[in-house]
Structure 1
C-alpha cells in the first residue's frame, strides 16, 4: 500500500508525496583545501515509493556515493536525507544500524552469501540475526518471484552465479524493506543471467510493490527501470521516464559528446 509522508523541501515549504527516500542539498566532500574533492554537490532528489529508479553517470560522477549516502552506508558533509519519515543524517550509529537492518535491503555485485548455509538459510539470515521471524506466506511469494523454489536446500557452491544472485535478491526482499539498493547487481553475470535478475527486480516492483534504486552503467539494465537519473560532476543533470535501452544509450552519447567539447 502506498503511503504519503510529509518532509520539508529545501526552502522550508512542505508537501506530501509518496516517497521512500529523499535528499535535500546533500554534499559529500573528501579532503580539504587544495586536495578537497566534491563527490556530491548540493543534490536534491526524491526516490518514489513502489518504483524502480536507476542511477547512471560516468566514472567519478558520484552515482555510487549518492546511493551509499541514501542508504546510510556513508555520511554526508552537508544536507539532509530521509528514509521514509526518518531523517537518517541525524541518527547515532546504533540507531542507523538498526534502521538499515529493518528498513533497507542491499544487493551487491558480490553475492555476499555464507558458503556453509543453504539458500533458504542465507535468505532468512538477516532476520535470524535480528531475532525476527519470517512471514511464511511472504517468504514463499518471494521465493516464487525469483524462481528459487527448487534450489532452497542447495549451498552457494552448488549454485550458478545467476542463482546465487537470485538468493541475494530474495534475501533483500524477504524482510520487506522500505527500499532496496543495488550496486551494479548484474555486473558479475553474463547477459542471460543478468536479464533474469533484472526481470525479477522488475517483477518485485510490479507484483510486490517494492522500491528499488540501482546504480548501473549498462543501458540495457537501466531500461528495466521506471526512471533514470543521470549524474555528472556530483550533480543530477537529467532524468528520463520510461527508458528504453536505445534512448538511454543515446542520452549517454550526448553526455559523452558534451564532455569532449567542454
Structure 2
C-alpha cells in the first residue's frame, strides 16, 4: 500500500453527521435530543460515545445508523445520504453496509452459533466469504462452540457470537449500543478486546455507545455529549482519564 493510500485510509470517513438535530414533541413539551451535532466517524477507527443519561448519545448512534429518523441536518454513510432513502432502501443499507451489536444478544435460540453468525447473509441470499468468516471465528475464539445453541453458551460467549455476526458480512461500519452492558467485567473485557482487534487487525470501523469508562478506554477516541451537543473529545483515552472527564461534566451540571 502506498503512502498516499495509507493517508487516504486514515482520513476517509465511514459516516458523517452534519448539523444533526432530533426534536421530540411540540411547544412546551418539546425535547431537543440532538442539537446541531456535527461529527465524523473515520474508517478503521474505534470511537466511543459517552455522556450522562439523556445526553443524546444513543439518539446520535441510532440516527447515524439509520435506526431512527432525524428532524434536520444530514447523515452520510460513505457517499450515501440517508435522508434521500426510502424505507426499503434504508433497510437494505442497514442489512448490507452496517453491523449491529446490542446489549441484548438478539440470538435466535433454535439456531446454532454458526447459523446465528451467518443469519443476516442467509436472509440476504449471500454466501459468506469463507476465508473472512474463518478469520473472524478464529479471532473470537469460538471455533469449538459453533454447533452449540445460545442456551448452551455463557453470556460472554453469546455476545462473542453477536460480535462475529456483526463482523461476518464485512460491513462498512459496526454500531454497538452498550454491547457489554449485560456482561461481567471479564467477559466484557474479552468482547471489547475483540472489537478493538477487529479495528486493528481487520480494518473495521466501530462506533460504540457506553457509560463505562473502562469500556471507553478500548477505543481510539471518545466523544462526550451533554444536552444534545458534543462538548468534548478525548484521543487515546484511559479509564481514569475518561472517569475524570465525566466527573467534571457531572459537577458542572450540578452547578449550572
Query: What TM-score, normalized by structure 1, do the two folds share?
Result: 0.94
1:11 aligns with none
Q: Does the alignment pair 1:33 with 2:27?
A: yes
Q: Could you tell me how far 1:34 is from its partner in structure 2?
A: 1.0
Mapped contact 2:103–2:180 kept (Cα < 8 A): yes
2:65 aligns with 71
Match for 1:166 among 137, 150, 160?
A: 160
Match for 1:195 among 182, 186, 189?
A: 189
- Partners in 1 of 2:7 and 2:32 — Cα distance? 34
Aligned positions of 1:175-190 closer than 5 A: 175-190=169-184
Mapped contact 2:11–2:43 kept (Cα < 8 A): no
Aligned positions of 1:89-104 closer than 5 A: 89-104=83-98
- Partners in 2 of 1:25 and 1:4 — Cα distance? 24
Structure 2 residue matching 1:150: 3-state secondary structure = helix
- Partners in 1 of 2:218 and 2:11 — Cα distance? 23
Structure 2: 5+ residue stretches without partners: none
Deviations 1:35-85 (A, max 9, x none): 110000000000011000000000000000000000000001000000011
Structure 1: 5+ residue stretches without partners: 6-15
Q: Does the alignment pair 1:54 with 2:48?
A: yes
> Would the alpha carbon gap of residues 2 and 114 (structure 1) be closer, same or farther in structure 2, given more than 3 Å must change?
farther
- Partners in 2 of 1:235 and 1:206 — Cα distance? 29
Q: Could you tell me how far 1:157 is from its partner in structure 2?
A: 0.6
Structure with more helix by fraction: 2
Name segments (4+ residues, structure 1) moved above 3 Å: 1-5
- Partners in 2 of 1:104 and 1:220 — Cα distance? 25
Q: Could you tell me how far 1:2 is from its partner in structure 2?
A: 6.6
Structure 1 residue matching 2:196: 3-state secondary structure = helix
